[in-house]
Structure 1
Amino acid sequence: MGGNAFAALLSTEAFPRMPPAVYYALKNRLLPQISRLYKHVAVPFEAPEKTTYGDVDFIVAGPLTIMNTQETVDQVNAPHKIVQAAIGAQYANLMDGNRTSNFAVPVDVGEWTMFGHGAEEEEARRLVEDGIIYYQVDINVCTDKEEFERTIFYQAYGDLGMIMGLLARNIGLALGEKGLKLPDPPNPPIELSQSFDEILRFMGWSMDTWKAGFSTKKAVFEWVGSTKFFDPRMFRSHGEGFRKVKADRKMYAEFVQWAEEKNTGAGEKRRKRTEEELQELRNLALVHFNKKIIFNALAQEREQRAGFRQVWNGSRVRDWAELGNHWKGVKLIMDAVRKRLGGEEGVAKFYGKDGEDGIRRVVLEEKKCLSLASDIRDEASVATSTEDGLARGITNLAVV
């Protein structure tokens, strides 16, 4: 329901749900106004079979005006005050950058009458103390055209993007507005693709069908279920995890129930994919998107880096050089090795080529060059003499 963004200022009842005729009239009225402020403007395809709407969502990118002459070329927002005035909003919850701003646009008295919903408007006004009701208009600002197109796709047809994300998660992948990724915890995920054309080809979903639209939720569900990766045994409409779904995500919940019913009809028990199955599917994705070489290279680099940290540290250098607790000597050797091999990165590359034995050899060579054995004995002797002198001084002081 609209109005949640203004809960601290206005009651939820001040934002009545809109009948379809009212919703489409509002969208068509505001679209030209917002198009004067942004180069790219669109409203995602609505979910099929909706009987009411809580708000209108505009996705935009490329401001045609900027805040002031000092703004950089990276400016992504049209001036908030100009936007608010253009759509006739009385209140606004404004966000800078590529985020969503919310606007409360007053409903003119009798406005719904021309659409055959005058009685509903009057009833909505009776529910609020001052009789003033509003439309909630959300404007989601994107950084560039590419993000704009991805957002338009992912937010289309209600919860479809969320449902697609669920299917991807069931095969060990992550799908969102930024595209498809391969999670690799605890490491950063591997980006597979930001192109939804490529992603749909991999998943086995028809882009032509998506573009043609869906007249029913069942048609959406059947399109989702057309992927070769769909397995109704992976879904349930109750239990742990499912309770986390927001109450207003009805279409998402209905899809899970639809999938569960298909499984019930087949008479099969619910199951999870094994780790071996998931690994096979992940490898399939890596090969399809030509990311296998990159993935393996990153894994090898991490393994090498971990081995390097085990070898190249103060404790290991101290042991090789037999310096005991003389950490100053350890630091001198490590600094000398870094200087010789081209810094920390150079040492790491040398380790990758010559391994632990190579690093140890260079450490001992630098120890010899620095003549650390005699220096350390002298340093230890000086330290001992100093400690003896301090002890005698403390004793004499005590006698006095």
Structure 2
Amino acid sequence: MGGHAFHDLHTPRIPPALYLAAREKTTAILRLLFARVVVPTELPEKPDYGDIDYLVCEPLPILTSSAPSSAAFPWAAAVRTLKEVLDTPHGNRGFHNPDVIFLAMRPPVLDPTCCSSAAPAPDFWIQVDVKVCEDPERFEWQRLQLNYASGAKMLSSMGKPLGLTMNPEGLWVRVEDMEGGNWAGSMVWLSKETGDALKVFRLDGRWMAEGGFKGKEEIYTYLTNSWLFNPAHFGARLRDEKFVEHIADRSAPWVSFIKTWIPEHYPKSQDHEKDWYKTTRSAVREKVFTMFPPVASTYYEK
């Protein structure tokens, strides 16, 4: 979620047993502070972990009682309390990611017979990233975006050339005649409900279900079964140097999905199909008009 937030600390990747022990301890603590606490679903088959990611919402009185009444969220109290209960001097609100609290905790003590050969050197820290959702109504939407190492970015990329925008607020459809000159003004609101978004992409609810996929292959197949998937789109993106530089920072399985898996599974479909984009964008527009009847009038009034 936040990469390496503590450059002066040794925060190595950790084996699954240590990750699970640290996650169990931290989850119990967070549930004393927030009404809603989830660990976004991890990609399956991970051999090790770089940090522990959380999404939290609705601070409990232990945090809000000491905060100014005007504060939308008690950031100072949350950072201070988390550092105290995790017994660490390392914790702060993100500068570039102001909705995330970054912490570094000492590893829990494990049974010495457990994963001793795979454990990092003794003097290390475990990074914990706590993303705060201040709007309870958008909690599930943010969870959709964070699940599987922010894999919803693949859906966002698929939908973008077809007139759909997925952002932290929700799902939008864009007015084609306006988007070139006024991108923000071209957007028409659809929904922040996860089920609605998956329905637009014609995908089932496994994306939001715990343990919905047993392996990366299942996730890749799930995404490419969407009627909005076109391998030519990703083929074109790979010819864009800026895009290639950008995806280098993404989770390795998603880099592999774009650069290796799609070309291997769709070797003859890496060129643009202009007619497909035009036809499918029109079909997407009709689908969202059917799903959200009031949208059509707003769309054509733009």
Q: Same fold (TM over 0.5)?
A: yes
Residue 227 of structure 1: how far off its partner (Å)? 1.3
2:167 is the alignment partner of 1:180 = no
What is the TM-score with the length of structure 1 in the denominator? 0.64
- Out of 30, 42, 57, the residue aligned to residue 53 of structure 2 is 57
SS at match of 1:158: helix
SS at match of 1:36: coil
Letter in 2 for 1:99: D
Q: Contact 1:22–1:115 at 8 Å: present in 2 too? A: no
Structure 1 pair 69/29, CA: closer, same or farther in 2 (3 Å)? closer
Residue 230 of structure 1: how far off its partner (Å)? 1.8
**In structure 1, what is the equivalent of residue 104 of structure 2?**
104
Residue 210 of structure 1: how far off its partner (Å)? 4.7
SS at match of 1:124: coil
SS at match of 1:191: strand
In structure 1, distance between residues paired with 2:139 and 2:192: 12
Residue 165 of structure 1: how far off its partner (Å)? 1.4
**In structure 1, what is the equivalent of residue 85 of structure 2?**
86
Residue 26 of structure 1: how far off its partner (Å)? 0.7
Please, what is the CA RMSD of the aligned residues?
Answer: 2.7
Residue 69 of structure 1: how far off its partner (Å)? 5.8
Which aligned pairs between 1:254-293 and structure 2 lie closer than 5 A? 254-256=256-258, 257-264=260-267, 267-274=268-275, 276-277=278-279, 279-287=281-289, 288-290=291-293, 291-293=295-297
SS at match of 2:105: strand
In structure 2, distance between residues paired with 1:120 and 1:66: 41
Structure 1 pair 89/277, CA: closer, same or farther in 2 (3 Å)? farther
**In structure 2, what is the equivalent of residue 231 of structure 1?**
230
**In structure 2, what is the equivalent of residue 220 of structure 1?**
219
Residue 259 of structure 1: how far off its partner (Å)? 2.2
Structure 1 pair 284/124, CA: closer, same or farther in 2 (3 Å)? farther
Q: Deviations over 1:224-256 (max 9, x none)?
A: 112122222322273213332133432222222
2:121 is the alignment partner of 1:124 = yes
In structure 1, distance between residues paired with 2:256 and 2:245: 14
Choose 1 or 2 for highest CA Rg: 1
Residue 117 of structure 1: how far off its partner (Å)? 2.9
In structure 2, distance between residues paired with 1:163 and 1:191: 20
SS at match of 1:61: strand
Q: Contact 1:3–1:136 at 8 Å: present in 2 too? A: no
2:151 is the alignment partner of 1:149 = no
Residue 3 of structure 1: how far off its partner (Å)? 6.5
Residue 199 of structure 1: how far off its partner (Å)? 1.2
SS at match of 2:30: helix
Which aligned pairs between 1:224-373 and structure 2 lie closer than 5 A? 224-236=223-235, 238-240=238-240, 241-256=243-258, 257-264=260-267, 267-274=268-275, 276-277=278-279, 279-287=281-289, 288-290=291-293, 291-297=295-301, 299=302
**In structure 2, what is the equivalent of residue 200 of structure 1?**
198
SS at match of 1:88: coil
Which ranges in structure 1 are unaligned for 5 or more consecutive residues? 126-131, 300-400
Residue 286 of structure 1: how far off its partner (Å)? 4.0
In structure 2, distance between residues paired with 1:259 and 1:271: 14
What is the TM-score with the length of structure 2 in the denominator? 0.83
In structure 2, distance between residues paired with 1:217 and 1:3: 21
Which ranges in structure 2 are unaligned for 5 or more consecutive residues? none
Letter in 2 for 1:270: D
Letter in 2 for 1:171: L
Letter in 2 for 1:244: H
Residue 120 of structure 1: how far off its partner (Å)? 4.1
In structure 2, distance between residues paired with 1:244 and 1:79: 32
SS at match of 2:57: strand
Decide which moves more: 241-250 or 47-56.
241-250
Decide which moves more: 167-176 or 136-145.
167-176
Higher relative contact order (CA 8 A, sep 6+): 2
**In structure 2, what is the equivalent of residue 162 of structure 1?**
153
Letter in 2 for 1:258: W
In structure 2, distance between residues paired with 1:21 and 1:47: 16
SS at match of 1:146: helix
In structure 1, distance between residues paired with 2:67 and 2:126: 33
SS at match of 1:252: helix
Higher-helix-fraction structure: 1
In structure 1, distance between residues paired with 2:25 and 2:231: 42
Residue 144 of structure 1: how far off its partner (Å)? 2.5
Q: Deviations over 1:89-132 (max 9, x none)?
A: 22112259970010011236xx35536233444x534xxxxxx3
SS at match of 1:163: helix
Q: Size of the alignment, in residue pairs?
A: 283
- Out of 20, 34, 41, the residue aligned to residue 37 of structure 2 is 41
In structure 2, distance between residues paired with 1:142 and 1:261: 38
Residue 164 of structure 1: how far off its partner (Å)? 1.6
2:38 is the alignment partner of 1:23 = no
SS at match of 2:148: coil
